[in-house]
Chains A and B, each alone.
Chain A
Amino acid sequence: MNLLAFRPFLDPLPIWRLPPWLWMPCLLVPLIIGVAIVYKSIKCRKMSMVPKESAELTGWILLFMFVAAVVLTLVVRGIEHWTT
């Protein structure tokens, strides 16, 4: 038996085989898409609007998360700069 073989649903996904900078996008994007689909399925009056609206919402969430990450990075760098 190969002890290192990946067993789906039993072993954690071997995401460490990917470069570390890809970990968060790979884990984040599917969740954001799922949340956007469910949210827009609840909110939209007509279901034909859901694909476009949820794609837009996914984009906005990603954009705001990116902006938040940049702002927080700048805040941390600023604190580091002024305290050293």
Chain B
Amino acid sequence: MPDSATNIKAPVTLVAIAGWLIPGAGYWLIGQRHRAMATGFAVIAIYLAGLLIGGVRVIEVPGYNESGEMVTVRVNRVNNPDAWVMQVSPLQEIKGKPWSIAQILAGPMGIASGAASVWAAQPDMSNATENAPLLPHAKITHTPVNEAGTLYTAVAGMLNLLVIIDASHRASHREDE
């Protein structure tokens, strides 16, 4: 398998997009397959370890509250009184959940786990009884385990950003040569 010295050319944009879609895929496209596998497996393992440690609810999705409902704000009392907060003030909402920026850098698995987190926050109707309150599919924890899970997933995203930047840099230098 080719490693550090390769002649495979790939557009920088494609390398960056592939690196976001599948961690390490940017290196794979420029022929550095060992590097692709090492970084890809490590980033995915750290992200999955974060989900395993803290549960899927460590992913806080902007625009959704702790019950998995869309957060709405009152914009206009006459027409369309309630609008989704992500349509009205997305930056303000994301600022309240800064870890989500790093987590989304881990790629589509960040989006998929966000969707799973919203689902897990919603009430579990299968266990509903007349007297008992509705419980979510999975509870959120406020222990150091939650902080560790959040840290793992965010670090995985930041490391993937490093990997994307390095793979793109190598691809651009190869084009120049």
Are A12 and B53 interface neighbours, CB within 8 A?
yes
Contacts of A37 in B (CB 8 A): 38-39, 42
Q: Report the minimal beta-carbon distance from A17 to chain B, rounded to whole angstroms.
A: 12
Are B39 and A41 interface neighbours, CB within 8 A?
yes
Give the size category of A's interface with B: 20 to 34
Known: A10-B137, A11-B138, A42-B162. A34 touches B55 (CB 8 A): no
Contacts of B54 in A (CB 8 A): 12-13
Known: A12-B141, A23-B144, A31-B151. A38 touches B39 (CB 8 A): yes
Known: A12-B55, A46-B4. A34 touches B46 (CB 8 A): yes
Q: Report the minimal beta-carbon distance from B108 to chain A, rounded to whole angstroms.
A: 16
Are A12 and B35 interface neighbours, CB within 8 A?
no
Are A9 and B56 interface neighbours, CB within 8 A?
yes
The answer for the CA separation of A13 and B145 in the assembled complex, in Å, is 7
Chain B CB within 10 A, most for which of A12, A42, A45: A12
Contacts of A9 in B (CB 8 A): 51-52, 55-56, 116
The answer for the CA separation of A47 and B31 in the assembled complex, in Å, is 13
Contacts of B4 in A (CB 8 A): 45-47
Instruction: Please give me the residue from chain B that is nearest to A50 by CB atom.
Output: B38
Are A11 and B55 interface neighbours, CB within 8 A?
yes
Task: Indicate whether A27 reaches chain B with its CB closer than 8 angstroms.
Answer: yes
Contacts of A15 in B (CB 8 A): 53, 145
The answer for the CA separation of A31 and B48 in the assembled complex, in Å, is 11
A-B contact pairs, 17 of them (CB 8 A): A9-B52, A10-B55, A10-B137, A12-B53, A13-B55, A34-B42, A34-B159, A38-B39, A38-B42, A38-B43, A39-B159, A39-B162, A42-B162, A42-B166, A46-B3, A47-B3, A50-B38
